Amino acid sequence: MSEFVTREEILVVASVRQSPGEEHPVVRDSIDRSFELPTGLYAATVGIYLAFLAVMSTCFMNPSLAIPMAVIVLLIVAAFAVPTLWVRMSPENRKLPLTWGNLHSRGIETGSGHLDGGAAVVQVLILPVLILFWGLSVAVIYAFT
């Protein structure tokens, strides 16, 4: 629960510095910015999201939807391009994404525990695939109504 703490009570337990620039910043030599998953999984995820947009734009062809679809495509590409660029930033990454062989032989540690390679692939791709199937079902319903 939260409670009100006065400034005096904070000063008793907190260490207050005169200026934040007095200490040298901690610089880590190796920073792992990747999720350690194979690059192919990222590409498959982007491809499936773009396939969903292709289904939707094909099903509901309308010239007035060209600009919104283009913006959505750019947002999806940016959502995956920015993390890709983040992984490649300096300082140099000493850890590389796992290869397909390493993923299938060792598996990966996730927030829900250790997963083997196949389960990790399913966990990464389940949402994009469900969204694509949802789009296909909407297209089928639209085609028959």
Q: Strand, coil or helix: what is 139?
A: helix
Q: What is the pLDDT of residue 83?
A: 83
| pLDDT of res. 102 | 87
Q: Which helix (H) or strand (E) holds 82?
A: helix 66-87
Count of residues in the chain: 145
What pTM does this model have?
0.72
Domain ranges of the chain: 32-143
What pLDDT, on the 0 to 100 scale, is given for residue 98?
81
Q: Which residues of the chain carry a pLDDT beneath 70?
A: 1-2, 16-34, 90-95
Judged on CB neighbours under 10 Å (0-12, 13-18, 19+), 1 is exposed
Can you give the pLDDT at residue 90? 62
pLDDT for res 145 = 87
| Residues 85 and 77 sit within 8 Å (Cβ to Cβ) | no
pLDDT of residue 88: 74
